[in-house]
Amino acid sequence: MDYNKEEFIRLLGYKSNVIRDNKTTLIEKYNSKELYKQFLIDTLRILEVEKPFFLLDDSYRDKVLDVINFYRFTFKDKELFSLANEIISEMNGLSMFTPETENDIIDEFICGHEDIRELEFINLNDFINTLAQDIDVYLALMSGDLSIIEDVMFIGTTNYFLAAQPDIYQDVNISEVSKQRAIEIKNNSKIKEYKKKQGAVRTLSYLQELKKNQE
């Protein structure tokens, strides 16, 4: 993905906010001119790089437009007005897809994530929940405490981070915490699922290979 590390992490939070927050909460989160501008910039970046995200649920487009409509004439700035109009145009374009085309785009988006994460999603909601929880995994890595992160979530999100933004693991603490968790899953005798153990083995291998390449 064409994101730098800082942008990638910020957009993890953006996607989680759009998925989890209701209209009122989302509006409140971007209640200054600076925050609103960042919201517009982030929305355009998602539209540029991960446009299918806004097809996963119609409410995501609605929430974005709700924020824009709330602040559009509050923060009177030509640049913000231009960014908002660009987003509105893009959102209108997304609404023009036929159901068949929309489903094909979503299926391709999900399959791409399944390949990267080495996971099979049960259904669309399972995939959406995973996108929302990616930021939780990152924050847990930053804190050094992965106790609240489920094994499958850890494996899938780690694989995603390694593929999309490996610079995250230049942080020695994050790298070591991740390797330790992968080892724990691999060696945990209580875990009977073969796929989970093998997933941990592959994730550990990817982490070790990345460290070699960084040295």
**Of the residues 73, 96, 119, which one is the last residue of a structural domain?**
96
- Asked if the structure places residue 129 within a domain, the reply is no
Q: Are residues 74 and 144 in the same domain?
A: no
Considering the domain architecture, whether residues 15 and 85 belong to the same structural domain is answered as yes
Residue 106 falls inside a structural domain? no
Report pLDDT digits (tens) over 79-119: 999 999 999 999 999 999 999 999 999 999 999 999 999 98
Q: What is the mean pLDDT of residues 173-195?
A: 81
Distances (CA, A) of 175 to 29, 127, 144: 31, 25, 10
Do 87 and 14 belong together in one domain?
A: yes
- Does 11 lie in the same domain as 92? yes
Q: Which domain holds residue 64?
A: 5-96
Determine, yes or no, domain membership for 121: no
160 vs 204: CA distance, rounded Å: 13
Phi, psi torsion values for 160, nearest 5 degrees: -65, -45
* Exposed / middle / buried, residue 157 (Cβ in 10 Å: 0-12, 13-18, 19+): buried
Same domain for 142 and 78: no
Q: Using 50, 70 and 90 to split pLDDT, how confident is the model at 189? A: low
* 145 & 65 share domain: no
114 is written with which tokens?
A: 């399944």
User: 105 lies in a domain?
Assistant: no
58 within a domain of the structure (yes/no)? yes
Please give the tally of structural domains in the chain. Answer: 2
Lowest model confidence (mean pLDDT) among 15-29, 128-142, 157-171, 180-194: 180-194
Q: Which of 40, 67, 96 is the last residue of a domain?
A: 96
Same-domain pairing of 85 and 34 = yes
Please, which pLDDT band fits residue 3 given cuts at 50, 70 and 90?
confident
